[in-house]
């Protein structure tokens, strides 16, 4: 019955691989629709756009501080708000997303992976996405 052994080892190996993969890719379908384990700028802006629409409760096309809540601090809000009307249009919001995306993409390969997302810059980005 020695033929069983390699099969068991193969299974254990597979299980370990599956566990690692699951751990390394905690990205939801919303953030990573192509499930490659990383977020590219297009995915980030798509998720941000969906969140923007959800947060814009009065449907006027802008987010004010009340609608943004704790997602963006006062200082960051005024920095992302060039026309200084204290609200963010979708363009302004997506501009901030692009900025935070760049900050989170430490190795500048154009994607933010799970590890990069787990940094301070990554968490700041995530706040704008979900």
Instruction: Tell me which residues touch Ca ion (CB under 5 A).
Output: 32, 34, 36, 56, 58, 60, 81, 83, 85, 105, 107, 109
Cα dihedral 76, 79, 82, 85 in deg (nearest 10): 50
d(CA 31, CA 37): 10
**Residue 60 or 123: which CB sits closer to Ca ion?**
60
What backbone torsions phi and psi does residue 99 show, to the nearest 5 degrees? -65, -50
Least gap, CB of 42 to Ca ion (angstroms): 9
Map tokens 């692009």 to a residue.
Answer: 98
d(CA 11, CA 64): 53
Least gap, CB of 56 to Ca ion (angstroms): 4
Least gap, CB of 20 to Ca ion (angstroms): 18
**Residue 14 or 21: which CB sits closer to Ca ion?**
21
**Residue 56 or 100: which CB sits closer to Ca ion?**
56
d(CA 20, CA 99): 30
The answer to whether 102 and 45 are in contact (CB under 8 A) is no
**Residue 9 or 50: which CB sits closer to Ca ion?**
50
């Amino acid at each position: 019955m020695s033929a069983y052994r390699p099969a068991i080892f193969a299974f254990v190996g597979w299980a370990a691989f599956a566990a690692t993969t699951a751990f390394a890719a905690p990205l939801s379908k919303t953030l990573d629709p192509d499930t490659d384990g990383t977020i590219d700028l297009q995915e980030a802006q798509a998720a941000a756009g969906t969140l923007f629409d959800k947060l814009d409760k009065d449907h006027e096309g802008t987010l004010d501080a009340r609608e943004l809540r704790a997602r963006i601090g006062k200082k960051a809000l005024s920095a992302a708000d060039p026309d200084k009307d204290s609200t963010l249009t979708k363009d302004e919001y997506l501009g901030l997303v692009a900025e935070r995306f760049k900050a989170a993409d430490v190795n500048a390969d154009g994607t933010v992976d799970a590890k990069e997302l787990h940094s301070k810059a990554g968490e700041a980005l995530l706040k704008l996405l979900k």
